[in-house]
Structure 1
Amino acid sequence: MRFAAVVGCVLALVLVSDAYFDCRRRGMSCNGGACDPITGSCICINNSTAKDCGLGPETTGCVGECQNDGTCTDILGPPSCYCNETFTGPLCELRRSQVECSGENMTITIRPYTGFVGRVYIRDQANNDQCAFEEKTDEATPYYQQIYNLREDCSAIVKNDTPGVGDVTFQREVIVQYNPNLETRIDQIITISCEHIAANTSDLDSTMPSVDVDQRTNLTRDDTKSVYEPVEFEIQERTGGKVTPPVFIGRELRLFFSLKDTAVFKTLNVESCMAVNGLTGSNRKTQNLVQNSCPTIESFEVLRGPPARNSDQTAVVINFDAFKFVDSHELEFECKIRTCKEGDTRCEPETCFGAETGFGRKKRDTGSRMLDDDETVMRRRITVIDPHSSQIITGSPNKSKECIQRIEIIVTIAILAAAVFILFIVTLCLALRALRSRAKTSASSDTDSTTSSDGTRLRIPRVRSVF
Structure 2
Amino acid sequence: MLFFAILATVVATGGAVFDCGRDPTLCQASSVCNMAIGQCICDNATTHTGRDCSIVMANLDQTPCTNTSCQNAGTCTGDGTNSNCHCTEDFTGDQCEIPRYLLDCSGGTNMTLSIVPEGNFVNGAIFIEGRQGDVNCEFTQASPDDPYTITLDHTESSCSDADYNQLQDTYTRKVVILYNSDQVTRRDELVTAVCGDNILTKQTSTVTIGMLNQGLRDKGLGNVPLDSDINFDMTLDGNVINGDLSLGDDVTVEVALAEAGSQKYQAFRLEECSATNNLLDNNVDYRSANFIENSCHVPALASVTLQPMTTNSTTGSVTFMFDAFKFSKGDNLLIRCRIKMCEAAANCVPLGCDLTGAGTGLGRRRRRNVDQEKVLGRVLTIRDPLPANGERTWTTVSDTCNVSTEIIGVIIGMSILIFFLLAICTALAIRALFGNKQHVQKDPFSQSPKTQLSHLSFQGRC
Shorter-chain TM range is 0.3 to 0.5
TM-score (norm. length: structure 1): 0.39
TM-score (norm. length: structure 2): 0.39
